[in-house]
Amino acid sequence: MSKTPDQEIISLILNEATANKGFRLLVSQYQEQLYWQVRKMVVVHDDADDVLQNVFIKIFKGVKNFKGDSKLSTWMFRIAYNESMTFLTKKGKTLQISSQELQDHLTEKLEADVYFTSDEIELALKKALAQLPDRQREVFNYRYYDDLKFKDIATILDLSEGAVKSTYHIAAKKVEQFIKVN
């Protein structure tokens, strides 16, 4: 299926008569990208599914006010990032554990997760990522897996481009070191 330009999707959504069609297009075009972004943060499939529903509800409510200061995808990634972080904070509070302990807990569960590959290298990488501070892990995920530009990552995380570059550099070094040692 050919990709519909973002501007066309927004125009369809802004017109009441074509709003449903526009939103359907938006969902079909971005659901997978957003799902994987959320999944990499919350790890568990069922949690990712719940968060994704909320993300699209937020997008649906806010898209009419989208001013086009950034790319539509970047704007949606930012919503997905915020929703995922809110979810993780709540989950940490429910389990009464810190952010770091939560990452360890999620990584431990990965080994038994039927929706995770049995690939040892991927598992080792996930364990390495779990050791990183939240910010470094997110920057690494966006760059390494999603191949996003530093500029877009900076917009999503509300950081300067320079800060994103140095954060990615530090994160990559730590991951490399962790995998060598372990």
Partner 1 sequence: MKNNNQHTQAGFKVPEGYFDSLTDRVLENTQKDKAVEHAGFSVPKDYFSTLEDRILKEVQEDKEVKVVTLKTSKNNTWVYPLLAMAAIFIGFVTINGLFSTDEVTFADLNDQELRDYIVDVNFLQDEESVEILYADNSILNDTEIEQEFTDNELLDYLMEDATLDQIIRE
What does the binding site for partner 1 look like in residue numbers (CB under 8 A)? 20, 23-24, 27-28, 31-32, 35-36, 39-40, 43, 45, 49, 52-53, 56-57, 60, 115-117, 119, 122-123, 125-126, 141, 145
Q: Which of 89/117 has CB closer to partner 1?
A: 117
Q: Which of 1/181 has CB closer to partner 1?
A: 1
Q: How near is the Cβ of 11 to partner 1 at its closest, in Å?
A: 19
Q: How near is the Cβ of 75 to partner 1 at its closest, in Å?
A: 17
Rounded Cα distance between 171 and 168, Å, is: 5
Q: How near is the Cβ of 71 to partner 1 at its closest, in Å?
A: 21
Q: How near is the Cβ of 94 to partner 1 at its closest, in Å?
A: 22
Cα–Cα distances in angstroms (integers) from residue 145 to residues 57, 60, 149, in the given order: 25, 26, 12
Q: Which pairs with CB-CB distance under 8 Å and at least 24 residues apart come from 158-164?
A: 158/78, 164/139
3-state secondary structure of 158: coil
Cα–Cα distances in angstroms (integers) from residue 172 to residues 133, 153, 162, in the given order: 12, 15, 15
Q: Which of 7/117 has CB closer to partner 1?
A: 117
Q: Which of 31/160 has CB closer to partner 1?
A: 31
Tokens 């949606």 identify what position? 76
Q: Are 83 and 37 in contact (CB under 8 A)?
A: no
Q: Which of 60/178 has CB closer to partner 1?
A: 60
Q: How near is the Cβ of 96 to partner 1 at its closest, in Å?
A: 27
C-alpha of 146 from chain center: 9
